[in-house]
Amino acid sequence: MALNGIPKAIMQVKPYVPGKTIEEVQRELGLEEVIKLGSNENPYGPFDCSIKAMQEELVNLNLYPDASFVEIKQLIGDYIGVPRDYVAVSHGAEGMLETLVRCFVEVGDQVIIPSVTYGLYSEISRVMGAEIKYVPLKSHTIDLSLISGAVNSKTKLIWLCNPNNPTGTIFTDDDFKQFMQSLPDRVWVVVDEAYAEFVETPEYANSVQAVLEGKQVVVVRTFSKAFGLAGARLGYALAAPEMISIIDKVSEPFNANRIGLAGAKAILSDRRDFERFRKQIISDRSDVAAKLKEMGLEVITSNANFIFFQTPWDGRLLAQNFLRLGIIVRPTADWGLPNGIRVTVGRPEENEKFIKALRKTIETMEKEV
Binding residues vs ligand PLP (CB under 6 A): 40, 92-94, 118, 161, 165, 192, 194, 222, 224, 230, 235
User: Within a 10 A sphere around the Cβ of 338, how many other Cβ atoms?
Assistant: 15
Q: Which is nearer to ligand PLP, 160 or 211 (CB)?
A: 160
Q: Which is nearer to ligand PLP, 49 or 160 (CB)?
A: 160
CB of 92 to ligand PLP, least distance (A): 3
CB of 323 to ligand PLP, least distance (A): 20
The one-letter code for the residue type at 110 is: Q
Residue nearest to ligand PLP (CB): 92
Q: Which residue stretches of the chain are H helix?
A: 8-11, 22-29, 48-57, 70-80, 92-104, 120-127, 144-150, 173-182, 207-212, 241-250, 258-269, 272-294, 315-324, 348-368
CB of 359 to ligand PLP, least distance (A): 28
Quick one: how far is CA 295 from the chain centroid? 28
Q: Which is nearer to ligand PLP, 343 or 362 (CB)?
A: 343
Q: Which is nearer to ligand PLP, 93 or 362 (CB)?
A: 93
Q: What share of the chain is helix, strand, coil (3-state, %, to 5)?
A: 45, 15, 40
Helix (H) or strand (E) holding 113: strand 110-114
Q: Which is nearer to ligand PLP, 45 or 325 (CB)?
A: 45
Nearest to 45 by CA among 344, 291, 332: 344
Q: Which is nearer to ligand PLP, 166 or 315 (CB)?
A: 166
CA 335/CA 247 separation, integer angstroms: 30
CB of 71 to ligand PLP, least distance (A): 20
CB of 1 to ligand PLP, least distance (A): 31
CB of 90 to ligand PLP, least distance (A): 8
Q: Which is nearer to ligand PLP, 305 or 321 (CB)?
A: 305
CB of 235 to ligand PLP, least distance (A): 4
Beta bridge partners of 341: 309, 331
Give CA separation, 228 vs 213, 270, 274, in Å.
31, 14, 8
3-class SS of residue 79:
helix
Quick one: how far is CA 263 from the chain centroid? 19
Q: Which is nearer to ligand PLP, 94 or 350 (CB)?
A: 94
CB of 192 to ligand PLP, least distance (A): 5
CB of 97 to ligand PLP, least distance (A): 7
Q: What are phi and psi of 363, to 5 degrees?
A: -55, -45
Q: Which is nearer to ligand PLP, 93 or 142 (CB)?
A: 93
CA 131/CA 110 separation, integer angstroms: 5
Q: Is the dihedral of CA 15, 224, 329, 203 positive or negative?
A: positive
